[in-house]
Chains A and B, each alone.
Chain A
């Protein structure tokens, strides 16, 4: 009995095939119909997610390319093609260069600080000790707390008058009294504001660095370490030649995720200083928001946001290369 006769053989072509070559088709047809069915079912299941992503990520991304070469703004819905005008005007804007510079400084300084803190914390959490679970749970809170919410706490701690940070530093004799020049106004002083913003980013993401690193360390099988020990490797040699190469992919991915999120995050700076004082903490996302939404110049805002792409693409390519190697 063949599959088609069981199901009534509704498809005349199938039935014709069954008549002309009964032996071959009996072997082939169940496989063929089953596989076609499987594919149809598969694409049906995949379609909603794929469509959502195509329509609301893919299409908007292409649309942002179009916006960037048009004079679209909030008041006038009819956009004209104006070529690279938006990019050129951004290029000639002093604020743009300040924002680009601040973005890069922000990224690099924050990355150095969070990898130092993250590495030390990861080494500590690698040890066995009582209360480790609790410590781990507490230490990751900055990363798990919604960002807009934790930034508010920092805004209050950086208050120009009632800053608890200043209270402590002042009692320790490290800074002057309130009202004197020695009293730092964290968010109001152009020299301190960027530092203050970077510190919040570091505070928020060093637990992430630590946990990613920890996941890497624990993925190295202890037999490999033992084998290296037996072969007479010192701790440093084991670390450099065994552990680091093994955890490199995971480190890379963690690092690149962080790069993408730090570069494109607007909430820390927007909530603390809105880019001020002056342009001291202006970064590209804040500038894109201010021009695109607040000033209503969609085209120029999109062009500025797109300047992030060349900074992000190397990161994306590296993530892609590492994900391709993922195993289960």
Chain B
């Protein structure tokens, strides 16, 4: 009779221990985001004073910072730039990485495994080594000071990563499907386009998401290649344009950062396991 009760008590105790251990991590991870959120909605007199309890509103919340953002800064253009850049990058990544991944995984090209690894390794060549020569390339092409420069350079990291990702993905598609398509009279290209591609849609979608989220992680290229205020993407525009000398608009800065950052973080969150699998080469599957 005492059995189930002590069992439950034990279980409860175990949970309490775990929660006690996990709570500090959650607080450390989430607090800066909470702090951004509340800063974005606080009135200035509430932000810049030191005596009140800072973790909640002491004056009524306000949308003033967002109004400033949209009416007095280029924030609207930055959002538009960010999405246009990402769309182009995703497109370029798709038309290059998906076929390449398929070729490397499926067409038994000589040395395909090594070629795949070589392409992936270029993902690890850091932007800090490439940005000076690329600045010359960008200037030669007349793309400096326009967001087209970023459309050109972001694929330097999305293409290697997504090629590797798709290579792993295509290897999991059973060979028989392709053979069946060939027997049914599909050509090489037909089998790829009409049979393999449709069933690989989840992998293709994952590549699009990474083209988008990895582009959002860049700061250096945007900083180095794009200086006009209306050409920047959000992660570059907010820190470089909203901080003027020693004058900070913290409410607007936090609002601007969060409005775009949070959706990206949530999206990335869902695909994080794929990312880890990608870089660890699928060992952890």
Main secondary structure of the interface of A (DSSP, over half): helix
Q: Using an 8 Å CB-CB cutoff, how does the interface string of B144-182 with A read, 1 for contact, 0 for none?
A: 000000001101100110010000100110000000000
Q: Is the CB of A48 within 8 A of B132?
A: no
Q: Using an 8 Å CB-CB cutoff, how does the interface string of A28-58 with B read, 1 for contact, 0 for none?
A: 0000000001110111011011101100111
A285-B171 contact given A57-B160, A138-B30, A141-B30, CB 8 Å threshold: no
Of A43, A264, A325, A326, which is within 8 A of B129 by CB? A264
Give the residue among A164, A218, A254 with the most B Cβ atoms within 10 A: A164
Residue of B nearest to A216 (CB): B284
Residues of A within 8 A of B71 (CB): none
* Of B60-68, B198-206, B260-268, the one touching chain A: B260-268
Q: Is the CB of B32 within 8 A of A60?
A: no
> How distant is the Cα of A271 from the Cα of B21 in the complex, in angstroms?
32
Q: Is the CB of B15 within 8 A of A129?
A: yes
> How distant is the Cα of A328 from the Cα of B234 in the complex, in angstroms?
38
Residue of B nearest to A291 (CB): B132
Residues of B within 8 A of A212 (CB): 276, 280, 284
Residue of B nearest to A38 (CB): B107
| Cβ of B91 under 8 Å from chain A | no
Least Cβ distance of B123 to chain A in Å? 9
Residues of B within 8 A of A41 (CB): 103, 107, 188-189
Q: Is the CB of B283 within 8 A of A149?
A: no
Of A43, A56, A288, A316, which is within 8 A of B153 by CB? A56
Q: Using an 8 Å CB-CB cutoff, how does the interface string of B5-27 with A read, 1 for contact, 0 for none?
A: 00000000011001101100110
> How distant is the Cα of A36 from the Cα of B19 in the complex, in angstroms?
61
Q: Is the CB of A264 within 8 A of B127?
A: yes
| Cβ of A153 under 8 Å from chain B | yes
- For chain B, the count of residues having a C-beta within 8 Å of the partner chain is 102
Q: Is the CB of A306 within 8 A of B284?
A: no
Residues of A within 8 A of B80 (CB): none
Task: Give the contacts of B101-120 with A (CB-CB under 8 A).
Answer: 102-104, 107-109, 115, 117, 119-120
Task: Give the contacts of A248-303 with B (CB-CB under 8 A).
Answer: 249-250, 253-254, 257, 260-261, 263-267, 270-271, 284-285, 288-289, 292-293, 298, 301-302
Given contacts A37-B188, A145-B261, A149-B260, 4 further A-B contacts (CB under 8 A): A138-B26, A139-B22, A156-B250, A289-B220
What are 27 contact pairs spanning A and B, CB under 8 A? A41-B103, A45-B99, A46-B99, A46-B103, A49-B99, A52-B92, A52-B155, A60-B133, A64-B130, A64-B133, A67-B132, A138-B29, A144-B269, A149-B235, A149-B261, A152-B253, A152-B254, A157-B35, A161-B50, A162-B47, A253-B283, A264-B128, A266-B128, A284-B128, A288-B132, A305-B129, A326-B281
> What residues of chain A have their CB less than 8 Å away from a CB belonging to chain B?
37-39, 41-43, 45-46, 48-50, 52-53, 56-61, 63-64, 67, 72, 117, 120-121, 124-125, 127, 129-130, 135, 137-154, 156-157, 159, 161-162, 164, 167, 178, 203, 207, 211-212, 215-216, 218-219, 249-250, 253-254, 257, 260-261, 263-267, 270-271, 284-285, 288-289, 292-293, 298, 301-302, 305-306, 308-309, 312, 316, 319-320, 322-328
